[in-house]
Homo-oligomer: A and B are copies of this chain.
Amino acid sequence: MSDIVDWVAVDWGTSNLRAWGIATDGSVALQRHSDNGMGKLAREDFPGALSELLDGVTSTRNGPIDVLICGMAGARQGWLEAPYLEAPADLRGLLAGAVHPAMPGSRFAPAILPGVCQKAGADNVMRGEETQLLGLAALQPGFSGVVCLPGTHSKWAQLSGTRVERFSTAMTGEIYEVLRTHSVLRHSLTGDLDGPGRADGFVTGARAGLDHPEQLLGTLFQVRASALLSGRQPDWCAGYLSGLLIGTEIGSNRHLIGQQAVPLIGSSVLCALYAQVLGMIGATGMPQDTTNIVLAGLKAARSYAA
């Protein structure tokens, strides 16, 4: 690897900041990352965080080095708000919608890609996932169907080539965390959560969620009741809660899932769980290499210049 690059691709999320220096032949010349995610930075901290991460990076070109950024750096509480494209949206328009935060005296010329929103009574927003979707479209040209991006706020998007037709957000990961930490269920979720009972709890919860996604407010309480009445241990309860939430999410999106495999973009642990639950309804989940997807998305976004 080398510090000499053509341009720099950046994924700036809530918790992490990752950069790839791209050589003139399109290969990755360098990779860097830090924990300077949007969540811990004030607006004025962004230029310094980027300069620090890219210290010593130089270009063969004259003039400033392009830095193409996707993710939460473009949120209202980020570096500079990048307005949303409105779905249905062709993601080839991402670069044309980018904003350009000032970085006076710097060797870098940053551009932040927009997110995608949806209005007309189905208000929704994504920021970062649109670049991943464009990456999927670039790596699987002609793909048309539903894509699932599991996470704190899972996204389900209908993709047609480079077009996002519509999408929704499920608060699955965040609900798991707030219930585990702050609700009465925490009493049943303290101790070893990764013991041998977890797998059985997961399947039991997933089945309940898949079969009755409309009963979530009720089935959640079974975490507590099962611990009190059936002596379920924390590992089983944690598996049940995780399975219940993922099963409910997939169950509520069942009408979107056809014969075609559902691409899964997210952490490998989470994607494996989603693939398992998709298998329980005879569907197939296809976990993607998320780093490849993000990188392909940033490259593709750059290739469709305004």
Contact = CB atoms under 8 A, between A and B. Distances in A.
Contacts of A217: 170-172, 175, 216, 245, 248-249, 252
A76 B228 contact: yes
Contacts of A252: 214-218
Work out how many copies of this chain go into the complex. 2
Contacts of A124: 221-222, 225, 229
Interface stretch (A98-106, A181-189, A193-201, A288-296): A181-189
A251 B123 CA distance: 22
B181 A123 contact: no
Nearest to A168: B218
Contacts of A117: 225, 228-229
A221 B153 contact: yes
Contact of A171 (B168, B221, B248, B249): B221
A32 interface: no
B174 A183 contact: yes
Given A214-B213, A214-B214, A225 B169 contact: yes
Nearest to A245: B217
Interface in A199-224: 213-218, 220-222, 224
Nearest to A227: B123
A179 interface: yes
Contact of A222 (B123, B174, B222, B224): B123
Contacts of A125: 224-225, 228-229
Interface in A75-102: 76, 84
A178 B171 CA distance: 13
A226 interface: yes
A303 interface: no
A236 to B, nearest CB: 12
B229 A169 contact: no
CB-CB nearest 7 A-B residue pairs: A123-B225, A213-B214, A170-B217, A214-B214, A169-B221, A214-B252, A178-B182
Interface of A: 76, 84, 117, 119, 123-125, 153, 168-172, 174-175, 178-179, 181-184, 213-218, 220-222, 224-226, 228-230, 245, 248-249, 251-252
9 contacts: A123-B228, A153-B184, A168-B221, A171-B217, A175-B217, A178-B178, A213-B215, A215-B252, A216-B248
Given A76-B228, A172-B217, 13 more contacts: A119-B229, A125-B228, A168-B221, A169-B225, A171-B220, A171-B221, A174-B183, A174-B184, A178-B178, A215-B252, A216-B216, A217-B245, A217-B252
